[in-house]
Amino acid sequence: MTTPANAADPSLAPRWAVLWLLAAGLYNLLWGAIVIAFPNLLFDFAGIAHPNYPQIWQCVGMIVGVYGIGYLIAAADPRTHWPIVLVGLLGKIFGPLGFAAALWQGTLPPRFGVTILSNDLLWWIPFTLILLDAAQYHRRRSAAARAAPPTAAQLRFVKESRINAPPAAVFAFHESPAALTQLIPPWEAMRVAESPGSLAVGSRVVLRGKVGPLPVEWVAVHTEYDPPHLFADRQASGPFAYWLHRHHMLDDGAGGTLLRDEVAYALPLGLIGRYLGDAFVRRKLERMFEYRHETTRRLVESSSTGAAATTPQ
pLDDT of residue 146: 61
Average pLDDT for 95-124: 87
Sorted by where each begins, the domain ranges of the chain are: 10-147, 155-309
Q: Which residue has the higher pLDDT, 196 or 113?
A: 196
β 190-194/204-211 pair status = antiparallel
The answer to whether residue 147 scores a pLDDT higher than 70 is: no
pLDDT of residue 27: 95
Which whole-number Å values give the CA distances from 298 to 23, 95, 253, in the listed order? 71, 70, 20
pLDDT of residue 10: 66
The strand pairing partners of 162, in sequence order, are: 258
Residue 121 in 3-state DSSP?
helix
pLDDT of residue 179: 94
pLDDT of residue 268: 83
Burial class of residue 210 (count of CB atoms within 10 Å of its CB; 0-12, 13-18, 19+): exposed
pLDDT over 70 percentage in the chain:
90
* Cα–Cα–Cα angle for 278, 267, 133, rounded to 5 degrees: 165
Helices 54-76 and 15-37, packing angle to 10 deg: 160
| Interval 131-143: pLDDT, tens | 999 999 888 877 7
pLDDT of residue 46: 77
Contact 220, 193 (CB under 8 A): no
| Interval 55-73: pLDDT, tens | 888 998 899 999 999 999 9
Q: Which residue has the higher pLDDT, 265 or 140?
A: 265
**155-309 maps to CATH 3.40.50.2300:** no
Q: Which residues contact 254 (CB under 8 A, 6 or more apart)?
A: none
Rg (CA), the chain: 31
pLDDT over 90 percentage in the chain:
60
Contact 163, 257 (CB under 8 A): yes
* pLDDT level of residue 1 (50, 70, 90 thresholds): very low
The answer to whether residue 313 scores a pLDDT higher than 50 is: no
Which whole-number Å values give the CA distances from 160 to 64, 82, 203, 218, 289, in the listed order? 64, 47, 25, 24, 9
106 phi and psi angles, rounded to 5 deg: 80, 15
Average pLDDT for 105-117: 83
pLDDT of residue 213: 80
Residue 91 in 3-state DSSP?
helix
Burial class of residue 311 (count of CB atoms within 10 Å of its CB; 0-12, 13-18, 19+): exposed
The answer to whether residue 43 scores a pLDDT higher than 70 is: yes
